[in-house]
């Protein structure tokens, strides 16, 4: 496909910019490492009081869960959301629209560009942390590892889809920061980033099940740990596909609508 | 052959939020939103032939940028028809984008954080420009616009003049048939303005590129455009060629003299220059004259024997002034009306 080349170019350029902001990247990474270490000590204390397993998790499994959560949170940072909404708010979308590419595809490429770098760094950090804390559970077999990679890819697409939809609100509102903070808070709870969803009361678990957030962290983590049987895995990944496609589609719809009604400044 | 750009009854309506002043107003707006429609572009008809260079003028908020945004496919018209190069821009936005180059004076299309040349390379991939043509164009533009010195500097670190030249280069790398320039020389110094105008003029003359330009700078228009379209309040109020417009609406010049001593007799000067408006303010003296009736030298020759002149300068009319006159209809295109209408103009008062 010859049309693909420009998007590869977008991705490459975007990766280059990540290197320009290397100090920011490193600081962000250090911040996240502190957070992971804190989580480790917290759960270690919890497991010391409850030897064996807790909510079906053993301590090595919980360590793996925290690291998977860390890995997925390191991909597609707030930066993409911020840049996209700023571009919309300041009218730079006009510049993009006067050029021959698909807006959503270009933003997707720009978000994906740095991912190889983000993923490599995060896996490296996770490995070191796991070693320091006496190892973590690994996927039982290569097949499960492969399923985990697929699930992570889908989780990342869902995250992009969500971030894209949220950024679209910048067309209608000037207080995008509030919406970003809100999304991040809800996502932290319902994705299972803070604690596995099994620890939630039943009603909250039911709420989480119908939201897209659980497909962003909980699903890949459970696939990694083999907590789902073959059928449940298929269903969970199917749900991820539905969310990924659905959110991308919703984003396109929102964008088209926005372009139709929006007032881009200037006369 | 049909026109390259053809619009009929093109209209864009915006919804504006109506807010009452103060905290109460803001609170009220939070709960009950009120809007009113604003016609930014109001049923305009426009036909532009291939190879034309058109200045699209009007006061701020007149509808210039809105029109350009509809022509480029960024905005969807509220009503009316629009065909650009055989395409409806907002329906075939990407295909239309391949045929056009756009420079927004207020917004760069360069990537902020990376060297300028990387933005060009991105444009190469974006427009799928063949390697040999890209190399040829980039080499040529670099030479003509003097880009070499900042080619490897991030866009964030270059000056406004450099940025604008780079933006212009980027807009033309794919040899577009149509070039839209939205205030391309805003805030630039004379030398940069000059190089940009020369460059655009060369594109028009050598490649037959069709140019549509919005600007507040009469110099841009004179150097680049043959035809002038004026829009105000969303309506086109003038569409014609530049020479006629200037000969009719911009034939006045004002010559300002700086005097060593106040003029002794204004009457003597007025008598020598019956068709001119003479005004004085202490050590300043200004004469407004019609450049078809008098040469500037004649005026100077008439004034200088009567007063001691230290310095003088000549003012050309400004675009805003031109537009205002067209708008107010102070002068008619029929030459016969002229003497009567001339007297209707406000007297010149030399600036303090």
Mark yes or no for CB contact A267/B63 under 8 Å.
yes
- pLDDT, position A100: 93
φ, ψ (nearest 5 deg) of residue B191: -60, -45
Question: Which residues have CB under 8 Å from A178's CB, separation 6+?
Answer: none
More confidently predicted of B240 and A146: A146
Nearest by Cα to B122 from B178, B174, B199: B174
Confidence of residue B217 (pLDDT cuts 50, 70, 90): confident
Confidence of residue A84 (pLDDT cuts 50, 70, 90): confident
pLDDT digits (tens, 9 = 90+) for A102-161: 999 999 999 999 898 889 999 999 999 999 988 888 998 999 999 999 999 999 999 999
CB < 8 Å to A8, chain B = 125
Taking CA–CA distances from B124, the nearest residue in chain A reads: A6
- pLDDT, position B333: 43
Confidence of residue A173 (pLDDT cuts 50, 70, 90): confident
- pLDDT, position B298: 87
Contact call for residues B76 and A259 (beta carbons, < 8 A):
yes
Give the pLDDT mean for B55-84. Answer: 89
CB < 8 Å to B128, chain A = 2, 5-6
- pLDDT, position A189: 92
Shortest CA gap B80–chain A (Å): 15
φ, ψ (nearest 5 deg) of residue A4: -75, -25
CB < 8 Å to B63, chain A = 267
Instruction: Give the DSSP letter of residue A13.
Output: H
Mark yes or no for CB contact B65/A6 under 8 Å.
no
Q: Would you put residue B187 in left (φ > 0), alpha (ψ -120 to 50) or beta?
A: left
Give the pLDDT mean for B223-241. Answer: 89
- pLDDT higher than 80, residue B30: no
- pLDDT higher than 70, residue A65: yes
User: What does the alpha-carbon distance between residue B119 and residue B113 come to, in Å, rounded to a whole number?
Assistant: 10
Mark yes or no for CB contact B126/A100 under 8 Å.
yes
Confidence of residue B319 (pLDDT cuts 50, 70, 90): low
Contact call for residues B4 and B209 (beta carbons, < 8 A):
no
Nearest by Cα to B107 from A171, A262, A255, A90: A90
User: What does the alpha-carbon distance between residue B175 and residue A213 come to, in Å, rounded to a whole number?
Assistant: 46
Query: Rg of the Cα trace of chain A?
Result: 19
Mark yes or no for CB contact A266/B65 under 8 Å.
yes
Burial of B66 (0-12, 13-18, 19+ CB in 10 A): buried
Give the pLDDT mean for A82-102. Answer: 86
Mark yes or no for CB contact B126/A9 under 8 Å.
yes
- pLDDT higher than 60, residue A266: no
- pLDDT higher than 50, residue B305: yes
The listed range with the strongest mean pLDDT (A159-168, B9-18, B335-344) is A159-168
- pLDDT higher than 80, residue B44: yes
Contact call for residues B77 and B70 (beta carbons, < 8 A):
yes
- pLDDT, position A69: 94
Given CB atoms, is A6 within the 8 Å cutoff of chain B?
yes
Give the pLDDT mean for A171-180. Answer: 81
Give the pLDDT mean for B150-172. Answer: 94
* Relative orientation angle of helices A142-168 and A103-112, to the nearest 10 degrees: 130
- pLDDT, position B331: 42
Instruction: Give the DSSP letter of residue B152.
Output: T
Report percent pLDDT > 90 for chain B: 42
- pLDDT, position B327: 66
Cα–Cα distances in angstroms (integers) from residue A221 to residues A60, A73, A195, B131, in the given order: 13, 12, 12, 46
Q: Is residue A13 part of a domain?
A: yes
Q: Which of A8, A95, A102 sits opposite B104 (nearest CB)?
A: A95
pLDDT digits (tens, 9 = 90+) for A244-258: 999 999 999 999 888
The listed range with the strongest mean pLDDT (A43-57, A83-97, B38-52, B230-244) is B38-52
Residue carrying the six token digits 């067209």: B326
- pLDDT higher than 60, residue B352: no
CB < 8 Å to A21, chain B = 113
CB < 8 Å to B107, chain A = 90-92, 94-95
Substitution target from B38, B122, B175 for chain A, most A beta carbons within 10 A: B122
Q: Which of B60, B114, B125 sits opposite A17 (nearest CB)?
A: B114
Return the biggest CA–CA distance within chain B. 74
Shortest CA gap A161–chain B (Å): 22
- pLDDT higher than 80, residue B135: yes
- pLDDT, position B336: 38
Alpha helices in A133-168 (DSSP H): 142-168
Shortest CA gap A260–chain B (Å): 6
Mark yes or no for CB contact B114/A16 under 8 Å.
yes
Q: Is residue A45 part of a domain?
A: yes
Q: Residue B183, SS3?
A: coil
More confidently predicted of B62 and A261: B62
Given CB atoms, is A16 within the 8 Å cutoff of chain B?
yes
Token pair for residue A168?
Answer: 């679209």
CB < 8 Å to A11, chain B = none
- pLDDT higher than 80, residue B219: yes
- pLDDT, position A50: 83
CA dihedral B185, B190, B193, B199 (to 10 degrees): 180
Q: Is residue A267 part of a domain?
A: no
More confidently predicted of B237 and B333: B237
b/e per residue, B208-241, with b = 16+ CB within 10 A? ebbbbbbbbbbebbebbbebbbbbbbbebbbbee
User: What does the alpha-carbon distance between residue A232 and residue A18 come to, in Å, rounded to a whole number?
Assistant: 37
Q: Is residue A114 part of a domain?
A: yes
- pLDDT, position A262: 63
Confidence of residue B345 (pLDDT cuts 50, 70, 90): very low
Domains belonging to chain B, first-starting first, are 5-246 (3.40.50.300), 251-342 (3.30.70)
CB < 8 Å to A101, chain B = 94, 126
Q: In chain A, how many domains are there?
A: 1
Q: Is residue A202 part of a domain?
A: yes
Give the pLDDT mean for B91-118. Answer: 92
Q: Which of A6, A94, A267 sits opposite B74 (nearest CB)?
A: A94
Average pLDDT, chain A: 89
Confidence of residue B338 (pLDDT cuts 50, 70, 90): very low
Taking CA–CA distances from B73, the nearest residue in chain A reads: A98
Q: Which of A92, A102, A260 sits opposite B107 (nearest CB)?
A: A92
Give the pLDDT mean for B186-198. Answer: 90
Give the pLDDT mean for B11-26. Answer: 78
Confidence of residue B246 (pLDDT cuts 50, 70, 90): confident
Residue carrying the six token digits 């406004």: B160
Q: Render B271-302 in DSSP notation, one character per residue.
A: HH-TTSEEEEETTEEEEEEETTT--HHHHHHH
User: What does the alpha-carbon distance between residue B159 and residue A128 come to, in Å, rounded to a whole number?
Assistant: 45
Substitution target from A7, A82, A91, A100 for chain B, most B beta carbons within 10 A: A100
Given CB atoms, is A138 within the 8 Å cutoff of chain B?
no
- pLDDT, position B342: 37
- pLDDT higher than 60, residue B348: no
Q: Is residue A80 part of a domain?
A: yes
Q: Is residue A211 part of a domain?
A: yes
Confidence of residue A77 (pLDDT cuts 50, 70, 90): confident
Contact call for residues A18 and A25 (beta carbons, < 8 A):
yes
- pLDDT, position A206: 94
CB < 8 Å to B75, chain A = 259, 264
How big is the CA angle at B168 (ends B164 and B174), to the nearest 5 degrees?
A: 155
Shortest CA gap B332–chain A (Å): 28
- pLDDT, position B329: 63
Substitution target from B17, B30, B74 for chain A, most A beta carbons within 10 A: B74
Q: Is residue A266 part of a domain?
A: no
- pLDDT, position A2: 58
pLDDT digits (tens, 9 = 90+) for A1-16: 558 899 999 999 998 8
Q: Print the domain residue range for A21.
A: 4-261
Segment holding A115, helix H or strand E? helix A115-132
Average pLDDT, chain B: 85
């Amino acid at each position: 496909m010859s049309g693909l080349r420009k998007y590869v170019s977008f991705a490459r350029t975007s990766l280059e910019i990540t290197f320009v902001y290397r100090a920011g990247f490193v600081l962000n990474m250090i911040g996240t490492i502190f957070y992971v270490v804190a989580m480790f000590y917290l759960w270690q204390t919890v497991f010391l009081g409850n030897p064996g397993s807790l909510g079906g998790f053993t301590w090595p499994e919980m360590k793996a869960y925290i690291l998977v959560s860390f890995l997925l949170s390191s991909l597609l940072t707030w930066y993409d959301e911020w840049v996209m909404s700023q571009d919309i708010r300041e009218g730079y979308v006009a510049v993009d629209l006067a050029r021959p590419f698909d807006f959503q595809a270009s933003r997707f490429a720009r978000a994906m560009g740095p991912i190889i770098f983000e993923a490599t760094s995060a896996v490296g950090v996770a490995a070191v942390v796991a070693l320091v804390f006496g190892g973590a559970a690994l996927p039982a077999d290569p097949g499960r590892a492969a399923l985990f990679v697929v699930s992570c890819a889908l989780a990342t697409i869902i995250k992009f889809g969500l971030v894209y939809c949220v950024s679209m609100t910048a067309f209608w509102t000037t207080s995008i920061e509030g919406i970003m903070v809100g999304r991040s808070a809800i996502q932290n709870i319902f994705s299972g980033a803070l604690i596995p969803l099994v620890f939630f009361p039943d009603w909250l678990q039911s709420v989480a099940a119908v939201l897209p957030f659980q497909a962003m962290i909980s699903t890949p983590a459970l696939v990694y740990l083999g907590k789902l049987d073959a059928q449940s895995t298929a269903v969970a990944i199917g749900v991820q596909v539905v969310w990924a496609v659905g959110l991308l589609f919703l984003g396109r719809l929102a964008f088209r609508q926005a372009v139709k009604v929006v007032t881009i400044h200037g006369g | 052959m049909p026109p390259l750009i053809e619009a009929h009854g093109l209209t864009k309506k915006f919804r504006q939020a109506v807010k009452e002043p103060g905290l109460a107003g803001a609170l009220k707006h939070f709960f009950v939103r009120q809007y009113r429609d604003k016609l930014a572009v109001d049923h305009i008809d426009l036909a532009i032939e291939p190879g034309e260079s058109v200045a699209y003028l009007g006061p701020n908020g007149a509808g210039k940028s809105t029109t350009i945004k509809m022509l480029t496919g960024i905005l969807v018209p509220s009503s009316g028809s629009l065909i650009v190069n055989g395409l409806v821009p907002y329906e075939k936005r990407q295909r239309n984008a391949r045929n056009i180059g756009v420079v927004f004076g207020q917004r760069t299309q360069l990537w902020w954080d990376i060297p300028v040349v990387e933005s060009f390379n991105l444009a190469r991939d974006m427009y799928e420009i063949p390697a040999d043509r890209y190399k040829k164009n980039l080499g040529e533009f670099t030479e003509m616009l003097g880009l070499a010195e900042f080619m490897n500097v991030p866009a964030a670190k270059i000056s406004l003049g450099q940025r604008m030249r780079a933006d212009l280069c980027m807009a033309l790398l794919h040899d577009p048939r149509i070039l839209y320039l939205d205030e391309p020389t805003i805030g630039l110094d004379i030398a940069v303005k000059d190089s940009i105008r020369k460059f655009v003029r060369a594109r028009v003359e050598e490649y037959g590129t069709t140019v549509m330009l919005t600007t507040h700078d009469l110099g841009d228009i004179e150097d680049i455009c043959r035809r002038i379209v004026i829009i105000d309040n969303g309506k086109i109020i003038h569409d014609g060629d530049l020479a006629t417009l200037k000969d009719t609406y911009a034939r006045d010049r004002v010559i300002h003299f700086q005097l060593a001593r106040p003029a002794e007799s204004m009457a003597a000067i007025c008598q020598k220059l019956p068709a001119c408006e003479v005004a004085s303010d202490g050590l300043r003296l200004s004469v407004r004259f019609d450049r078809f009736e008098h040469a500037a030298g004649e005026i100077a020759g008439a004034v200088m024997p009567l007063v001691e002149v230290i310095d003088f300068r000549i003012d050309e009319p400004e675009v805003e002034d031109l537009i205002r006159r067209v708008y107010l209809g102070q002068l008619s295109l029929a030459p016969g009306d002229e003497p009567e209408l001339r007297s209707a103009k406000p007297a010149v008062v030399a600036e303090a």
